[in-house]
Amino acid sequence: MYHRSMRSRILARCVLLLTLVVATTSVLHSQSPQPRDQKRLSFEVASVKSDQSDAAATSRFALGPGDAFAPGALFAATNQPLIVYLLFAYKLGQGDLMDLPGWVYEERFDIEARAPGMPTKDEMRLMMQSLMADRFKLHTHTERQTQSVFHLVLAKAGHTGPQLQRHSDEGSCTTAPRLELPPIPCGSVGPAPASRAGRGRIVANGVTMTRIANFLKNPSTGVDRPVVDRTGLTGAFDMSVEWSLAPDPAQSSSSQVEDVGPTFLEALRQQLGLTLKSSKSLVDVLVIDHVERPTPD
C-alpha cells in the first residue's frame, strides 16, 4: 500500500511538472518576436516609356544621393537616362558604376510610379530597385574590393571648425540647429544655395559624421574617391561648408565669375576643422551583372 501511494504521488508530480513546462513554453513562444515580412518594397503601379524628345529632363524631386525630397506617393521623372535612375535607386554618385552599355547613358526614359502610403526617399529608392529588376531585368551583386579612398580626419586632434557643431539635442529633431542653415529637414545632408555665384555649399542638419563623409564624394567638391569617416566623432552634427567652385572649361573666361574664395579642401579645414588623407580600404562595390532595355508598357 505504501509503495502504491508513493507511485501515485510521484506520477502526480510528473504530470504537474509536465503541465508547467508546456505552459511556460507556450508563454515564451507567444512573447517571441514574429518574423518580419521580407517582401521587397514595390510601387503599386508604374509606367516606363522611351523619350526621344528634345525636352529638358525633369524630376519631381532631386534624384541624386542627397536627402532633398518632396513627400508624397508619386515618383515622376522625364527624359532621364537610365544611369540617373540607377544612381538614385542605389544612392550612388557619379563614377560609382562602371562598364555599362552605352545606351544606359544615352537613351532616355520617362518613369511615373505610385507608391503605397507615404514612403520616405530611401523607401522610394528600394521601390525603384524593384522596378529596375522587373522592367529592365536588372541583376546586381556586391563585391568587397580594395580601393583608393580618403579618410576624413580631424585636422587638429580634439577640435572641430566653427561650421561643424554638435546638434542641439542629439537624437531629437525638436530643436533648431545651432548653425544658421537654409530650410533642410532634420536628419538630412545635401547641397544648398551659396552666398554668391561661383561657389558651392553643402549643409547638414542633425546627421552623423558617416553620412557627412559619404556625401563629400561628388563632382562639385572635386573629391573622386569614397570618403570614410575616421574622425572618431559620434552623435549628430550640424554643418555648413562653402567653397569656390573650379572654373568650368566649357565656359569662356569672360563669362566666369572670379572668386578668390577657398578651395574645397581649404574650406574643409578652415570651416569644419577636417581634412582628407589618402588611404586604401575594403569597400562594398555594386556590380551590374545584367540590364536590358525595358519591355513596352
60 residue type, one letter: R
Any bridge partners for residue 239, and if so which? 164, 204
Can you give the pLDDT at residue 143? Answer: 94
- Say what the alpha-carbon torsion angle 259, 260, 264, 267 is, to the nearest 10 degrees: -130
Contact 68, 120 (CB under 8 A): no
Can you give the pLDDT at residue 118? Answer: 95
Contact 198, 209 (CB under 8 A): no
| 111 CA to centre of own chain | 21
End-to-end CA gap in the chain: 87
Can you give the pLDDT at residue 66? Answer: 79
Contact 188, 67 (CB under 8 A): yes
Least confident of 7-16, 26-35, 170-179, 258-267: 26-35
The whole-angstrom separation of Cα 177 and Cα 156 is 24
Q: Which conformational region is residue 178 in: left (phi greater than 0), alpha (psi within -120 to 50 degrees), or beta? A: alpha
- Is 186 exposed, middle or buried, given 0-12, 13-18 or 19+ CB atoms closer than 10 A? middle
Can you give the pLDDT at residue 170? Answer: 59
The percent helix, strand, coil of the chain (3-state, each to 5) is 25, 30, 45
What are the domain boundaries of the chain? 45-136, 146-245+261-283
- Is 164 exposed, middle or buried, given 0-12, 13-18 or 19+ CB atoms closer than 10 A? buried
Can you give the pLDDT at residue 47? Answer: 97
Can you give the pLDDT at residue 4? Answer: 44
Higher pLDDT, 186 or 39: 186
Main-chain phi, psi angles of 188, to 5 degrees: -120, 155
pLDDT (tens digit per residue) in 92-145: 877 788 789 999 999 999 999 999 999 999 999 999 999 999 999 999 999 999
In this prediction, residue 40 has a pLDDT band, given cuts at 50, 70 and 90, of confident
Q: Rounded to the nearest 10 degrees, what angle do helices 82-89 and 121-135 cross at?
A: 130
The three three-digit cell numbers of residue 279, written as one number: 588611404
Least confident of 53-57, 111-115, 242-246, 281-285: 281-285
Signed CA dihedral, 208, 125, 200, 168: sign only: negative
Can you give the pLDDT at residue 249? Answer: 57
Task: Specify the 3-state DSSP secondary structure of 22.
Answer: helix
pLDDT (tens digit per residue) in 177-201: 778 888 888 888 888 999 999 999 9
Contact 79, 108 (CB under 8 A): yes
Contact 209, 231 (CB under 8 A): yes
DSSP-assigned states of every residue in 215-238: HT-STTTT--S-EEE-S---S-EE
Can you give the pLDDT at residue 190? Answer: 87
Per the confidence metrics, is the pTM higher than 0.85?
A: no
In this prediction, residue 23 has a pLDDT band, given cuts at 50, 70 and 90, of very low
Contact 226, 149 (CB under 8 A): yes
The three three-digit cell numbers of residue 118, written as one number: 507615404
Which residues, in sequence order, are CB contacts of 95 under 8 Å at separation 6+?
224
Higher pLDDT, 6 or 149: 149
